[in-house]
Structure 1
Amino acid sequence: MNEKILDALMRLFALITDPTDIANNKEARVVVEVYLRGIISPSLVTEYIERYDKYLNEYQDRKATGKATRKNISVNSVKVLKICELINQQLHHREKIYVLIQLMEYVCTDTMLSSREKEFVETVSQAFNIEYAELKNLEAFIEDDIKSAADPQSFLYIDSVPYSTGGVKHVTYPGLDGTLRILLIESISGFFFIYNGVPPVSINGHKVQNGKVYRFENGGIIRGPKLGTVYQSNIANIFMTNEDIPKVTFTGIDVEFTYKNYDNGLKPFSFTLESGNMVGIMGGSGTGKSTLLNVLTGKYKLDKGDIYINGHNVVERDAMPEGIIGIVPQDDLLIEELTVWQNLYYNSKLCLGNLQEKELVEHVEKVLMDLDLYDIRNLVVGDALNNIISGGQRKRLNIALELVREPSILFVDEPTSGLSSTDSETVMQLLKQQALNGKIVVVNIHQPSSKIFKMFDKLWVMDKGGYVIYNGNPM
C-alpha cells in the first residue's frame, strides 16, 4: 500500500473518530494501530499513528451530534467533502477504490454497517465518483449479504456446498471447511477476496486473516491445505461470461519448424490457449523466441504439426484466416509527418473501408480514448530521434494500429524494448486489459519486471536449440 493511500486513510479515520469522547477516542486509536500493524511494516506504524493524531487534533473543533461514539460523524460535514476533494486530486480511481474498501473495513468492526456508517461511506463514495452499483456490491461483499448486491454475477463463492445460491458464480471444493468469496470490481478490472474458515489459507505466501479483505492481483496465488492452489488467472477466466465477445481457442499440436541447411528452429511443441489468456515468451538470445512467434502468426510454414483456431486447421488452409490475428512488430510503423489521430485514421481507412465516415471517426476516437492517447491526438508523432510524443505513447499507438481491426488473437514482439519501467508497465497493463476483454495475447518479452511477470497467465520459456522447456503458470 503506497504512502498516498495510507495518508488518505489516516485523514478519513480521523474524520470518523469523535474527539470529544475521550474513552472511545482511546479505543479508536488502538483500533487504528492494530489495523496498521496488519497492513504495513512495524517500523512505519508510529509514523502513521502520529499522522492520525495530527489529523484528529485538526478536526477537534467540529461539533458532535447525537450520542457520542467513535464513529459518530456528521455525514454532511464540509470537512468530509473537503478531504475527499483533496484525495481526488492525489489518487487515481483504482486507489480510491482501495481507500473506500479500507474505510468500510474500519467502520465495519461488527460485520454489519450501521445506517449512520452507511451514510458516511456513501458520502465518501459519491465524492470519489464511484458508481452506486459498485458501492452496493462492496457493502454486500463485506457484510456477506448477497441479497443486497446490485450485481450478484460480480461474486464468486468457493466452498464445499455442491450448488449455487443467489445467482452468484460458484465453485465447489469438497472437504473445504470454510468459504472464499471473491468480488470483481469491473471499473478497475480488479479482484478482492475474503476468507472465513479453518485451516487458514495464504495469499502469495502470506497468511490470510479470517474476515479481512485482500486484493487478488495479477499473478496472485491463494493456497490452503484443503483448498489447493487458486490462481488469479483462473478466477479471471471464470468471470469472462460476456456473450457479446466471441470465444476463441488457439491450439497447436506438435508444431515443428527447422531452417533450411540449419539444425536450429523450433522443436515439437504443443499448446492450447483460450480467450482471456496473456502468454509471455521468454528465453535467451538465439533460443527461438522470434521463430516461435513467426510460426504462430503464419509467417513461417510448419515442417510438421497442426495449428487450429476454434477447431479449424489453418495449416491445411495454407493461410491464417483474415481478421482473426493481429501482429505488432518491434519496429515502429508510424508515419512521422502525421499526427497521432491521422496515423490511426488512415490506417483504419485501409483496414475498415466498409465503415461510413461517421462510424470510422467514432471508432478511431474510441480506440484513442481506450489507449489514453486522445489528449495527444493532434500532436505530430515525429521520428525516433526527434521525439514529440514519448516512447510509451509511440508503442501504444503502434498497438492501436492493430487493435483498430479488433483481432481475436494479438501477437506483440518486445513491447517494452527501450521503455522506462513506468512506460513498460503502462503498455503491459494495456495488453492485459485486452486479454480481460476476451482476446488471446501472446507477447515476446525480454527481462520483465516482477510486476509485469505477474501479469501473464501462462509462460513459455525457451532454451537453446528451439526447445520450449517450460509451459505453465508463471507463479
Structure 2
Amino acid sequence: MSEEILKALMQLFALIAKQDGGIGQKEIDYVRRFLVQQIGVDSAADYLQLFEDSVEQDTIPHKDKEKKLTSVLDSVKVLKLCKQISKTINQRQKLVVLVRLLELINAEYPLTAQRVGIVKTASDIFRVAKEEYESIFTFVTSTEDKEFRSPNHLVMYPLFFLWIPSAELYFVKFSGQMEVFLNGLSMREGTIYLFASGSTLRLPVGLPVYYSDIASRFLSDRSPEKITLEADHLSYRFSDEAKGLNDISFNARQGNLVGIMGSSGTGKTTLMNVLAGMYTPSSGQVRINQIDLHKD
C-alpha cells in the first residue's frame, strides 16, 4: 500500500477505535500486526504512532461511552477518509480493507452501533453489495458453525472459509488449539488471512488443503455444467519438421490446479499454444466438454 493510503487507514482505524471509550490493547496489537504484515517491522513504528496519536485526539471519556454517539465531526472525517481511500485502490483492495476494518472492531470490545456504523459507511462508499457485506460481517464476527449459513461460507472444522464472488476473493480463519500453517507460516487462531491463488493449508493430521480445492467447492453449486479439458494423444511438428510434442495425453476438470513442468525447450509453451487453439496439432485432439477445439 502507498504511504498516502496507509496514513488514511491509520486515521480511519483511529476514528473507529476511539468510539465508545477509546482504544484497547488488543486493538493496538491488531493494528501493529496489520502494519508489520504490510510494510515490515522497521517501518511500522511511525504509522502505529500516527494511529495512537489520532486516537488520543478528542477521545470520549470511558465512563460516558454508552451514552455517546459518533460526533458530526467524526462522521465527516469518516466520509472524507473513505472517499480518499476509495479513489486510490481497486475493488479487490477495498474488500480487503473492509475485512480489516471489521476485524478491528471485533478485536476488543463487544460490537456497538457506533463502530459498526462507521464500517457500514465505508462499505457503502466502497459499493459493496448488501449480501456480500452481510456474509463478510458474519464471517469476521461469528465463531459458531451454525451461524455460517451463507452460500459464501464454507466450514471444514477447524477451518472457516469466506468467498466474495464479485472479486473472486477467498479468506480463511481457524478455531481450536492446534498448529495450522498457511503457505508454511503459522496462523494465529481467529485471525483472518487472505487465501490467495496457489495457497496451501496444512493441519497436524490429514491431507493439505489447496486453493483449488476450496475454489472448486464454492463453484460446484454455482456452475450448471462443469468444464472439462482433454488432451488426447497430442503431437505437433514445426514447419521444419522438428518435433514439438510427442503423444501427450491428460485431462482436467474445472477447479483443478494443473502444473506443467519441464526444462527449457521441452515443449511447455508449444503445449499451451496447442491447448489454446493457437497451434493445430499434427495428430490428436483437444476437447473442451467433448467438443474438438480444432474441428468443431
Please confirm whether the aligned pair reaches a TM-score higher than 0.5, indicating the same fold.
Answer: yes
Partner of residue 89, structure 1 = 87
Q: Could you tell me how far apart the structure 2 residues matched to 1:32 and 1:114 are?
A: 18
Does residue 39 (structure 1) correspond to residue 37 (structure 2)? The answer is yes
The 1:19/1:286 distance shift into structure 2, 3 A limit, reads closer
Q: Is the 8 A contact 1:295 1:301 kept in 2?
A: no
Alignment map for 1:59-458 (pairs within 5 Å): 59-60=57-58, 67-68=64-65, 74=70, 77-109=75-107, 113-142=111-140, 143-144=142-143, 152-159=150-157, 179-241=158-220, 246-257=225-236, 264-276=243-255, 286-293=265-272, 295-296=274-275, 297=277, 299-302=280-283, 307-311=286-290, 314=292, 320-322=294-296
Q: Is the 8 A contact 1:8 1:99 kept in 2?
A: no
Q: What stretches of structure 2 of length at least 5 have no aligned partner?
A: none
Q: Secondary structure at the match of 2:281?
A: coil
- Alpha-carbon shift at residue 91 of structure 1 (Å): 2.4
Deviates more, 1:240-249 or 1:197-206: 240-249
- Alpha-carbon shift at residue 137 of structure 1 (Å): 0.6
The 1:189/1:33 distance shift into structure 2, 3 A limit, reads closer
The 1:17/1:239 distance shift into structure 2, 3 A limit, reads closer
- Alpha-carbon shift at residue 99 of structure 1 (Å): 1.6
The 1:146/1:85 distance shift into structure 2, 3 A limit, reads farther
Q: Secondary structure at the match of 1:251?
A: strand
- Alpha-carbon shift at residue 10 of structure 1 (Å): 1.1
- Alpha-carbon shift at residue 310 of structure 1 (Å): 3.1
Instruction: Look at both structures and tell me which one has the larger radius of gyration over its CA atoms.
Output: 1
Question: What RMSD, in angstroms, separates the aligned Cα atoms of the two structures?
Answer: 3.6
> How many residue pairs are counted as aligned between the two chains?
289
Task: Give the TM-score normalised by the residue count of structure 1.
Answer: 0.52
Identity among equivalent positions (%) equals 29
Q: Is the 8 A contact 2:11 2:51 kept in 1?
A: yes
Q: Secondary structure at the match of 2:64?
A: coil
Q: Secondary structure at the match of 1:270?
A: strand
- Alpha-carbon shift at residue 120 of structure 1 (Å): 2.9
Deviates more, 1:2-11 or 1:279-288: 279-288
Task: Give the TM-score normalised by the residue count of structure 2.
Answer: 0.79
Q: What stretches of structure 1 of length at least 5 have no aligned partner?
A: 160-178, 323-475
Q: Is the 8 A contact 2:27 2:108 kept in 1?
A: no
Q: Could you tell me how far apart the structure 1 residues matched to 2:2 and 2:202 are?
A: 25
Q: Could you tell me how far apart the structure 2 residues matched to 1:86 and 1:65 are?
A: 30
Residue type at the aligned position of 1:52: F
Q: Could you tell me how far apart the structure 2 residues matched to 1:91 and 1:260 are?
A: 47
Higher helix share: 2
- Alpha-carbon shift at residue 122 of structure 1 (Å): 1.7
